[in-house]
């Protein structure tokens, strides 16, 4: 098979890149090692920055998001007994959209199915080859047969554990990582949200986040030990712990119900540099990971592929400036999002190992945030998403 761009990974990053390239008249093939059902079954982020909303519209897949998503003009913070609403719209003139990553992926899959651009699911032994030459390719096995895709470029959108970054010689790449000493226990349930907007909390018992996917589906998170197992947390225990961490006036509004999904996610910050290796490009989780605090993961992936799609389109119009500067441009935005996610994580979680001094620093940071219009504006600007470079 011959194509212009071979995309490894059929998550939202790979599918959005495919949609943007298709609308620019650029042929592409998506190769994914998992099934479509498995990709759709992954429960991930649900808060979209304005730039991501605009990119989904640009890709032609924004109609259902516009109809069913929830536009939020702010969110609330809890620290101990104190509460503070961050007014995003007042500080920035922008909102965020609450719309689950599963639904974004579903919309992109539906669009791709109608586009005629091929997608290969359940591809085994995917290997990227010769990306340091002018004739890169990838191979995979399916149905007992070996297949080859020749391309002008390869886009690695295959996640943190994917083959693309792993194929780069170690001498050619540098990585930066911070692993946090706790995880997030998440529960999804078909119950109405406890609040109209997202609710982040720092409590003596640990962090909490009250989020939602719709007006009738809620997503809740609790800071937990890395030693915890999902089976340690039956629904009754989860709801009881969430209620204890919420302020009484909020807890009394909590509606409980059977979980649809429950999982524990470790938290890490990770960046690989650079993001370009000849004709192989990394985008999304293949190149970086952020803690879920602040909901930057999907949004960073979207802006990566927007920059990459524009760079590739420029190449076919005769200029390689975008390709040459892709890594630089993407990393400039990535590191700003890494900083914000790290800062928000450090503010809102319990770090017993930091002792009383560390807690006082968190309290002082929260006090400053509550009292300073400039600090609230800075937080709002980062939360709604910095401009696309």
CATH of the domain at 365: 3.30.9.10
Phi, psi of 267, rounded to the nearest 5 degrees = -110, 135
Q: In this structure, are residues 51 and 387 in contact, taking their beta carbons and an 8 Å threshold?
A: yes
Residues 164 and 192 in one domain: no
Average pLDDT value for the chain: 96
- State yes or no: pLDDT of 43 exceeds 90: no
Residues 333 and 225 in one domain: no
Question: Which pLDDT value is given to residue 45?
Answer: 75
- State yes or no: pLDDT of 182 exceeds 90: yes
The whole-angstrom separation of Cα 146 and Cα 3 is: 17
Residues 65 and 25 in one domain: yes
Residues 279 and 206 in one domain: no
Could you tell me if residue 190 is inside a domain?
A: yes
Which domain, by its residues, includes 224? 180-266+351-384
Residues 21 and 132 in one domain: yes
Residues 313 and 251 in one domain: no
Q: How confident is the model at residue 41 (pLDDT cuts 50, 70, 90)?
A: confident
The pLDDT of 135-164, averaged and rounded, is 97
Question: Which pLDDT value is given to residue 149?
Answer: 98
> In the chain, how many domains are there?
2
Residues 306 and 202 in one domain: no
Q: How confident is the model at residue 42 (pLDDT cuts 50, 70, 90)?
A: confident
Could you tell me if residue 81 is inside a domain?
A: no
Residues 110 and 36 in one domain: yes
Q: Name residues whose C-beta falls within 8 Å of residue 236's C-beta, 6 or more positions apart in sequence.
A: none
Residues 254 and 284 in one domain: no
Kindly list the catalytic residues: 72, 200, 292, 296, 383
Cα end-to-end distance, the chain, whole Å: 34
The whole-angstrom separation of Cα 15 and Cα 119 is: 9
Could you tell me if residue 83 is inside a domain?
A: no
Residues 13 and 59 in one domain: yes
Could you tell me if residue 116 is inside a domain?
A: yes
Phi, psi of 314, rounded to the nearest 5 degrees = -65, -40
Residues 57 and 156 in one domain: yes
Q: How confident is the model at residue 231 (pLDDT cuts 50, 70, 90)?
A: very high
pTM: 0.95
Question: Which pLDDT value is given to residue 53?
Answer: 96
């Amino acid at each position: 098979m011959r194509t212009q761009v071979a995309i490894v990974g059929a998550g939202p990053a790979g599918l959005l890149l495919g949609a943007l390239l298709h609308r620019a008249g650029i042929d592409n093939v998506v190769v994914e090692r998992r099934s479509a059902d498995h990709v759709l079954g992954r429960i991930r982020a649900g808060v979209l920055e304005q730039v991501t909303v605009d990119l989904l519209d640009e890709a032609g897949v924004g109609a259902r998001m516009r109809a069913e998503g929830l536009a939020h003009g702010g969110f609330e913070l809890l620290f101990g007994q104190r509460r503070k609403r961050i007014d995003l719209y007042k500080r920035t003139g922008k909102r965020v959209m609450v719309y689950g990553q599963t639904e974004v992926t579903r919309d992109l899959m539906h669009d791709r199915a109608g586009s005629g651009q091929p997608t290969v699911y359940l591809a085994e032994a995917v290997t990227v080859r010769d990306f340091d030459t002018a004739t890169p390719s990838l191979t995979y096995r399916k149905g007992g047969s070996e297949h080859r895709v020749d391309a002008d470029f390869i886009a690695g959108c295959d996640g943190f554990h994917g083959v693309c970054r792993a194929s780069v010689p170690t001498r050619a790449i540098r990585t930066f990582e911070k692993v946090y000493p706790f995880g997030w226990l998440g529960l999804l349930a078909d119950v109405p949200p406890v609040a109209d907007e997202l609710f982040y909390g720092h409590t003596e018992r640990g962090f909490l986040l009250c989020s939602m996917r719709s007006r009738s589906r809620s997503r809740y998170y609790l800071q937990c030990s890395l030693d915890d197992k999902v089976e340690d947390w039956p629904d009754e225990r989860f709801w009881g712990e969430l209620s204890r961490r919420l302020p009484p006036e909020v807890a009394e509004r909590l509606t409980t119900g059977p979980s649809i999904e429950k999982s524990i996610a470790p938290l890490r910050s990770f960046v690989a540099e650079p993001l370009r290796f000849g004709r192989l490009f990394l985008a999304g989780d293949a190149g970086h990971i952020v803690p879920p605090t602040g909901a930057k993961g999907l949004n960073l992936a979207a802006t990566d592929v927007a920059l990459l799609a524009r760079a590739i389109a420029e190449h076919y119009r005769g200029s390689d400036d975008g390709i040459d500067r892709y890594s630089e441009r993407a990393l400039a935005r990535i590191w700003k999002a890494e900083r914000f996610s790290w800062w928000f994580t450090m503010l809102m979680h319990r770090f017993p190992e930091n002792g009383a001094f560390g807690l006082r620093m968190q309290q002082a940071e929260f006090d400053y945030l509550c009292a300073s219009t400039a600090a609230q504006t800075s937080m709002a600007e980062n939360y709604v998403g910095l401009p696309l470079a």
